[in-house]
Structure 1
Amino acid sequence: MNWDEEVDVLVAGSGGGLCGAYTAAREGHSVLVVEATDKFGGTTSYSGGGGMWFPCNPVLRRAGVDDTLDEALTYFRAVVGDRTPAELQDTYVRRGGGVIEYLEQDDSFSFQVFPWPDYFGKAAGARLDGNRHIIPTPLPADRLGALSESVRGPLATDRLGEEQPSTLIGGRALIGRFLLALSKFPNAALRLNTALAELIVQDGAVTGAVVEREGVRTAIRARRGIILAAGGFEGNQELRERYGVPGTARDTMGPWGNLGRAHEAAIAIGADTDLMDQAWWSPGMIHPDGRAAFALWFTGGLFVNQDGVRFVDESAPYDRVGREVIEQMRSGATTLPYWMIYDDSNGVVPPVQATNVPTVEPEQYEAAGLWHTADTLEQLAERIGVPGPALVATVARFNELAERGRDEDFGRGDEAYDRAFSNGESPLVPIGAGPYHAAAFGISDLGTKGGLRTDSAARVLTASGEPIRGLYAAGNTMAAVSGTVYPGGGNPIGASVLFSHLAALDMLG
């Protein structure tokens, strides 16, 4: 093989998988990170919090949290079940704290507690106070220097053209801190607009890859191994349809470069896959550009379907709401769009405190037929195409439940997460007097979660369960350790950071 370049470790993708690049560089090995797009950060950079679900990590221990790994593992297994290997689950829960300890030895990294309740509050071992979750400390952009302009996002910048803020927060802060740390190592290189095209196999082992930049193909030898952490394939409509992923590429929150090329390259050499019909779901408020975007933190309102009937706990964790909408769609009980119904307490803008993509002028939503206002519920029902008597009855029933303080129909407020945005109070806020409003919602996702099947060292496996020498996967390129559920905020980024770290340690060991 005639190689154009040689490094010890090649990393495809620049989201949470940067942890693998950092680990390899810190341990003294040459590293090249190739990012298919013009910005670093992937889906991680779009995360508002950049959180990681790592029970009993050093940040939590310093804060006096009394959790145990056994209790956390009890919870994780209770919600994930046997959908993924027990060893993989055990590795995620027990070794997450170790990667934070490793990173905190470098002053480029700083984290803080950000309580975020577990998403299945009634499951055994659930932590209702949220103390399994940490986020990166905000990072002033000037500390990162010129590299700050190379960090993807935020969404307000990428979708609406707003200027990048002077401080990196959430997922952007995490990416910024990895870039800051990597900049200290002369043995680490980062390359934008460079996509993984294919993997090279020699004598049964992955020894390198072909990457493409501006139409030029380059063969890169990776002496120690390759980490595929290039995100999911949520932006590739053809792959979504092939694997039966509900929703559309238009409505994903993943960046445009997440097309599944790393998946396809690995599949072409015999890698096994799992969970390929799965994604991290959410309800999506529809914006004037026609895209449904991840929305949470509802301080009022209720959802109704095309029959004017309520069908879900609106305050439940976003993935659980999204999955319920999908099941309703499959059965024909709900079609898109469905509608948030709310009163005029805060004017025409829906009671959604975290739209992720900022809202624009109300007139644009109204002109697009996405927001409607009427003096009566009957008139509102006519404008959104649902039966008037049904909508009136639905609101009356909801108000009755709100007055009682207990949602006997869908359990809104029965779990800790439901009350996370209402200071522990019931999220059942009655619909008051008119005028009344309706806002159109659809389905969004935070990326696909199906990918390459791996072992607990992040080694990619064949269908027979044998590791493919030299090939590793993490993040949304790896089949999610959480299976078909979303155990808690920070699970996707946490798994990406941890398994890319473990991949680097394994290939260098």
Structure 2
Amino acid sequence: MTAADEEVDVLVAGSAGALAGAYTAAREGLSVAIVEAGDRFGGTFAYSGGGGMWYPCNPVLMRAGCDDTIDDALRYYRAVVGDRTPAELQETYVRGGAGLIDYLERDERFAFKILPWPDYYSSAPGARTDGMRHIVAKAVPDERLGRFRGLVRGPLDHERLGAPQPDLLTGGRALIGRFLWALAEQPRVAAYLDSPLVELIVEDGRVTGAVVEADGRRRRITARRGVLLATGGFEHNAEMRARYGVGGLATDTMGAPANRGLAHQAAIAIGAATDLMDQAWWAPGLVHPDGRAAFALCFTGGIFVDRAGRRFVNESAPYDRLGREILRAMRAGSVGPRYWMVYDSSAGEQPPVAATNVSFAPFQAYRAAGVWVQADTLDELARLIGVPPDALTATVRRFNEFARRDDDPDFGRGRDPFDRAFTGGASPLVPITTPPFRAAQFGISDLGTKGGLRTDTDARVLDTSGRPIPGLYAAGNTMAAVSGETYPGGGNPIGASLLFSHRAALHMAGE
């Protein structure tokens, strides 16, 4: 047996939701090594503008007088997710978030606030349309991070557009920063960037550590209590996407660049069971001048049209549900890898998209790239975007009549409370009447894959016989999502990642 280069109690792979596991382990008195494949800490979590957590009845909400109950939240979650994932896993998530926030708030370095964000299936039993299940971390100055100062990934505008990195950490970066602030003061916590986990070490049926690559060499880290895999998904691995049938393109994902599925592969190699490997957290993607489609939401107008020039979806539906409908149309052949949003000039040239996640470039860049076009007539616009002119004209005429009546009998746009959540209650059915008529190109984007390793309620990875693999844990997008094939509400991916990382560390501490 090769000697270990380092020995700790807990090895944590990943540095987004994984930090909740690292923090918990350290707080419970264990030594920790964090290995991150990227050149910054934070993963995809750091790109989230909100960084929300869907935690019903947590202390932040209850102090504000929220009248929610866990029973209502659990009824909602089960109605949405169904039996696609184990009931006990769902219940653990719904009930567990409040306890995690209570645990964190005992440390003065953690502070949270309410960011109302409505549930995504607002007609399901137990749903809340007031957003009172969603909280975020309060902003924190980067200077407080000690040895981790300047090392938080993101934001997206910094990485994709070269914008200056702000000194104040907000959104997902705020919570990552708060974890790093707390960890910086723990002498028994080591952290390594540019250090992907590539292999798990197994002795007598137990995972006892891992092999990590750094600076062109491999080194072994032994973990006495266990290894937590929370390295994100495999969205940037085109071969894995194709193998498992994940829709969309690796170039259009919003996932962190290092999310290539190495931890998935290491666990599968020792017999770990997987689930949901064809799934992702999908969304429509606005195509930018560089040709990449980036997650966009909050459409306050416009219509999507297929190759025949017809509408094919409720454009104001929650982004994952909308993304899934777009994928169905793509698989049926009625929509190509790129399709168009049609709108008018009543509000100017910019498409009616309230949240682009990657900021707009100068408008002339979109025109020069051919991803925004305009014409004085709908017939002319139809020819520019390659759809039948008569069909597009008829589609817009029909939609304008729906807008006049404020009712969409074709796709129900505006009927669900969520459809009006980002228009101040105003109708999202905005007539297309003011020339020049415009079109912006879209694709399908994602927030990462959600297929991964099957686990129990303590985040222990299960083998193909359904038995826990001793010493191995998973959370985040390395774990098969507790929400199955749905996206119940904003803050669900981050919330689940943090909670199951925390539970993994508590289980290791208990051992």
TM-score normalised by L of structure 1: 0.99
Match of 2:368 in 1: 367
Match of 1:66 in 2: 67
2:122–2:416 Cα contact (<8 Å) kept: yes
Tell me whether 388-397 or 446-455 shows the greater mean CA deviation. Answer: 388-397
Tell me whether 455-464 or 414-423 shows the greater mean CA deviation. Answer: 414-423
AA at the equivalent of 1:15: A
How far, CA to CA, are the matches of 1:394 and 1:142 in structure 2?
Answer: 54
Match of 2:250 in 1: 249
SS at match of 1:150: coil
Match of 1:357 in 2: 358
Match of 1:265 in 2: 266
How far, CA to CA, are the matches of 1:23 and 1:38 in structure 2?
Answer: 23
AA at the equivalent of 2:20: C
How far, CA to CA, are the matches of 1:339 and 1:42 in structure 2?
Answer: 30
Residue 319 of structure 1 deviates from its aligned partner by: 0.2
Match of 1:162 in 2: 163
TM-score normalised by L of structure 2: 0.98
1:160-186 CA deviation, whole Å, 9 max, x = no partner?
111101211111111111101111211
Match of 1:399 in 2: 400
Tell me whether 331-340 or 27-36 shows the greater mean CA deviation. Answer: 331-340
AA at the equivalent of 2:432: I
How far, CA to CA, are the matches of 2:171 and 2:270 in structure 1?
Answer: 36
Residue 334 of structure 1 deviates from its aligned partner by: 1.6
Please give the residue correspondences for 1:306-455 in structure 2 after superposition, counting only pairs within 5 Å: 306-455=307-456
Calculate the aligned-residue CA RMSD, in Å: 0.9
1:177-234 CA deviation, whole Å, 9 max, x = no partner?
1101111211111111111010000011000111010111111110010100000000
AA at the equivalent of 2:117: W
Match of 2:278 in 1: 277
Residue 47 of structure 1 deviates from its aligned partner by: 0.7
Match of 2:139 in 1: 138
2:158–2:165 Cα contact (<8 Å) kept: yes
1:143-172 CA deviation, whole Å, 9 max, x = no partner?
335634211000001011111012111111
For structure 1, the residue ranges without an aligned partner over 5 or more in a row are: none
How far, CA to CA, are the matches of 1:500 and 1:360 in structure 2?
Answer: 37
Please give the residue correspondences for 1:111-122 in structure 2 after superposition, counting only pairs within 5 Å: 111-122=112-123
1:332-365 CA deviation, whole Å, 9 max, x = no partner?
2222311111111222211112111111111111
Match of 2:129 in 1: 128
1:420-443 CA deviation, whole Å, 9 max, x = no partner?
111122211111221111000000
How far, CA to CA, are the matches of 2:377 and 2:450 in structure 1?
Answer: 43
1:390-425 CA deviation, whole Å, 9 max, x = no partner?
111111111111111111111111122111111122
Residue 140 of structure 1 deviates from its aligned partner by: 2.0
Match of 1:294 in 2: 295
Tell me whether 336-345 or 47-56 shows the greater mean CA deviation. Answer: 336-345
1:234-265 CA deviation, whole Å, 9 max, x = no partner?
00000000111011110000011000000000
AA at the equivalent of 1:431: I
Residue 108 of structure 1 deviates from its aligned partner by: 1.1
Tell me whether 254-263 or 342-351 shows the greater mean CA deviation. Answer: 342-351
Match of 1:147 in 2: 148
SS at match of 1:159: helix
How far, CA to CA, are the matches of 2:108 and 2:190 in structure 1?
Answer: 20
Tell me whether 185-194 or 464-473 shows the greater mean CA deviation. Answer: 185-194
How far, CA to CA, are the matches of 1:147 and 1:183 in structure 2?
Answer: 7
1:423-480 CA deviation, whole Å, 9 max, x = no partner?
1222111112211110000000000000000000000001111000000000000000
Residue 504 of structure 1 deviates from its aligned partner by: 0.3
2:341–2:440 Cα contact (<8 Å) kept: yes
AA at the equivalent of 1:339: W
Tell me whether 352-361 or 236-245 shows the greater mean CA deviation. Answer: 352-361
For structure 2, the residue ranges without an aligned partner over 5 or more in a row are: none
How far, CA to CA, are the matches of 1:416 and 1:176 in structure 2?
Answer: 34
Residue identity over aligned pairs, in percent, reads 67
